[in-house]
Structure 1
């Protein structure tokens, strides 16, 4: 079973930063519950396959030079965690946000992505 810091890392770097579909899916099967709920500005989906589709769609519509980079400290509780990030070319991000996870039995059961406001 993974702990909260490991799951934060895997979610950002090994799933949403991973353009290799097969490798990404193996990690998804490893770190999320079967019925994981993923909520982001485009809506909410449930299940590993749906989360994988969202990650693939995001990576598929952005240039290969776009990457997720941690953008601040990790916030870690016993069953929750949060990780701020930025996305885009390493020197010129086009988006910033934070991922908040809920962990159940060593796997992510809920993932909430909130984008930073431009205001």
Structure 2
């Protein structure tokens, strides 16, 4: 199955990096990422679905109660790439950090994802 870029961005935010259950995370990664997908973030580069599942779990474990909230709807370019800006923090508290996810899609799946940390919005 293939998905539009906005759906890929939203599902990645909530169902991959926002998911606390390893089995559910793995199922979604298998569904929305290409087999050879690459995740780029400030601390490293992770290649393939297994590594993306692993590092998403590591990141999630550092803040298991945090929730991601998109600041606005995902922006899409030519149904091939897009970005979503978000904040994350404990429910009911001020956001602890912010970021932007940028993806490149291939045949309706995430082939590349780039994570940028942003200053917290005012």
Does TM-score exceed 0.5, indicating one fold?
A: yes
Range 31-40 or range 66-75, more displaced: 66-75
Residue 84 in 1 paired to residue 89 in 2?
Answer: no
Residue 67 of structure 1: how far off its partner (Å): 1.1
Structure 1 equivalent of residue 17 of structure 2? 16
Residue 115 of structure 1: how far off its partner (Å): 0.4
Structure 2 equivalent of residue 69 of structure 1? 69
The alignment's TM-score, normalised by the length of structure 2, stands at: 0.90
| CA distance in structure 1 between the partners assigned to 2:33 and 2:108 by the alignment | 9
Root-mean-square deviation (Å): 1.2
| CA distance in structure 2 between the partners assigned to 1:28 and 1:15 by the alignment | 7
Residue 102 in 1 paired to residue 101 in 2?
Answer: no
The alignment's TM-score, normalised by the length of structure 1, stands at: 0.93
Structure 1 equivalent of residue 95 of structure 2? 93
* Long gaps (5+) in structure 2: none
Residue 29 of structure 1: how far off its partner (Å): 0.2
Superposed CA offset, 1:43-89 (max 9, x none): 11110011111110011122x32111112231112200100011111
| CA distance in structure 2 between the partners assigned to 1:2 and 1:57 by the alignment | 26
| CA distance in structure 1 between the partners assigned to 2:43 and 2:117 by the alignment | 11
Determine helix, strand or coil for the equivalent of 1:38.
strand
* Long gaps (5+) in structure 1: none
| CA distance in structure 1 between the partners assigned to 2:50 and 2:33 by the alignment | 11
Deviation >3 Å, runs of 4+: none
| CA distance in structure 2 between the partners assigned to 1:113 and 1:23 by the alignment | 21
